[in-house]
Structure 1
Amino acid sequence: MRSPQPFTPAEEETLRLGTFKDGVTPPPVVCPGPDCARPNPRARTFCACCGTLLRPPLPPPPRPWWLRITEGIRGFLRRRPRVWHRERRWYAPAAGAAAVLTLTLAGAGPSLTGPVRQGAALAYDRFASKAAVAASAVSASSRRAGYPARCAADGVDNRAWAPAPSGEQARGQWWQAEFTHPFRLTTLVVFNGVSLQPQEYLAAGRPQRLRAVAITAGKRAFVKELDLTDQPGPQTFSWGVDDVQSVRLQIIGVRAADGKGAKAPVGLAEVQFFTRRSQA
């Protein structure tokens, strides 16, 4: 609010006499303030006592019709790109990606059919429900007394297979599982060491690295190297091989036992195989 201003001498004279030089006596403007009501000359804009606006501002003149229409169209055009970008911003990238993929597949022809199909199968394996597949027969290159090959596929995690050689001599030893019906191998789970109990686990040697070889019904071999962490319990490895009929795990790296050196067994507690539940 504007600060009050005192009347000028001319305004005081006009209020006192109530006349102008031409003899006309205009009525004073009464301040609309709730606690003022002081008369003011018509020449003033604000009340000299309280600073209240004496006359309300005049409304702006109406704009012509053509200006209102053009401003409405201009405002709509300014808002439209932002709304389209926010609600449909993924349309253009998705359409472009689909077009590029279509042209790539059409140009590459059959050479990309295999990789694309394999990628789709691996993606489906990740989200599909899994079912365990039991081995029909197991074998090993050798076995230590009390650690037969069947112990790595009996579903019990406190019994293990261990080859006859100990320590670093266990490199190259293998364990193999065979299956009556070929299946798609999606996941391989390995329980490292001879037991899940920490003391028994550390007291024996354990594989550090395995070479997994999957043999299909068509006698094709797929190789995958597995790096095992030094801890008891299941370790999961994703794999995607069709028509698997046998899987061999070969020891190519060994961790020594704590305190027993080269005489401790190098064991695998359990090996499990999984496929899609729809194919089980």
Structure 2
Amino acid sequence: MNIVVLVKHVPDSAGDRRFTDDGLLDRELCDSRLSELDEYAVEQALLLAAQHPGAQVTHLTMGPENAADALRKALAMGGDRGIHVSDECLAGADYLTTSLVLAKAVQALGYDLVVCGMASTDGAGSVIPAMLAERLGVAHMTLAAQLAADDALLTIRRDSDRGSEELSTALPTVVSVTDRSGEPRYPTFKGILAAKKKPVLSWDLSDLGLDDAHPGLVPATRVLATVPRPARQRGTVVTDEGQGAAQLADFLAAHK
């Protein structure tokens, strides 16, 4: 079984973010990491691979040079190799461009199953799994809380406020997993050392049979303007001298 895991290098959600004049994230001024939600995808892929002797797990990312750090973190958790798609033409890529490039990469790798996180922690669009499956021409299942697979079929459990449902589809397929699918493992020291020796291949557009003239590489969306988040202002302080509750009620009523 060939399992491809999509991983993304994203800005640390706890850090500050800055944008360039053309609306792109200034990656030089922010700390980045493997998207937390993608760690769940890595975990589920590794669990499935452990149940299928001979299975190969490939981690795939698209991004600038430092996006390879996400691959190394994923490989430290487990897996066999990493693929890093990077090209200057992909700066500012939107969902349509990203799904096109990832689909070409997945096709070049060959796959039985593509595992994704439920969303990235930066864009949070949650659309790449569905768009990728459409481009690959296969079925997809989303928001899986539990996975099981044999050589021909993938079965998931999806949980909601109204209950749980079990769904199945034939391989090959694309699936996204939630943060309730099981806690991701921590990379061990041995795993970190082993990750340094695992192959990480760099591909550009030409390796995928694409060039900058391809119409699918022209972003359909772009950022027109960015506005810094306002500085946090000091809140209203109520000194309770017997009327604190009434003052609080008045404040809430005034602000609806």
What is the TM-score when the length of structure 1 is the normalising length?
0.22
The structure with higher relative contact order (CA 8 Å, sep 6+) is 2
Please identify which structure carries the higher strand content. 1
Q: Which has the larger radius of gyration?
A: 1
What is the TM-score when the length of structure 2 is the normalising length?
0.24
